[in-house]
Amino acid sequence: MIYVGEDIPCRVLTKYIFPSDMEVLFLEINFRKSKWLLCGTYHPPSQSKDYYFNNLDKALDKYPEYERVLIVGDFNTEDSENSMASFLF
């Protein structure tokens, strides 16, 4: 769940349509003179990590105009695992 106060302009972004088995929400949030891409997500432990991160990576490619990106959620993986490390770099 993501809550944005009513005094903060934001909108849901839908350039990338995720498969129905993925829980991901992209928002554009405006703070005065800066726009942020916020991604809230949950990766179930039973889902393939490569599948999950490949789709997330494809979605991020649809939003190259954002310099400030924040991805939050439960990834159910360690940053030392190959799939996470590949996604981060």
d(CA 19, CA 24): 10
The closest alpha carbon to 22, from 63, 88, 76, 69, belongs to 76
The dihedral of CA 17, 20, 22, 23: what is its sign? Answer: positive
pLDDT in tens, 51-84: 999 999 999 999 999 999 999 999 999 888 888 8
Record the pTM: 0.87
Task: Let me know if 29 is exposed, middle or buried by CB neighbors in 10 A (0-12, 13-18, 19+).
Answer: middle
Average pLDDT, the chain: 92
Average pLDDT score over residue span 15-37: 93
